[in-house]
Amino acid sequence: MIENKNFLIVRMNKIGDMVCTIPLIKTIKKNFNNPNITVLTEELPGKFLNEINLVDEIIIYKKNNTLLHNRYLEILHLINRHKI
């Protein structure tokens, strides 16, 4: 078994796509010793993921509808702010 690893899973989709991510999360937990799993997602899939208690941290991305909005820069900012 591989020792402590950190994983960041980015799922910017809906709940159905998050459900499809559950086998991946379970595989990581099975094959790594005490993995730290963080998921970056939107609010509704994040609430779903929070209810099933499979990951260590959930980072919620909230859409910004300003004129100079850049989704990818905001995601990078979130990742840097959480020091992942």
Q: What is the pTM of this model?
A: 0.78
Rounded CA-CA distance 73/17 in Å is 22
Query: Per residue of the chain (84 residues), what is the pLDDT tens digit?
Result: 566 689 999 998 888 999 999 999 999 999 999 899 999 999 999 999 999 999 999 999 887 766 557 777 888 888 888 776
Q: What tokens were used for 67? A: 């004129």
Backbone angles phi and psi of 16, in degrees to 5: -60, -40
Q: What angle do CA 65, 66, 71 make, to 5 degrees?
A: 65
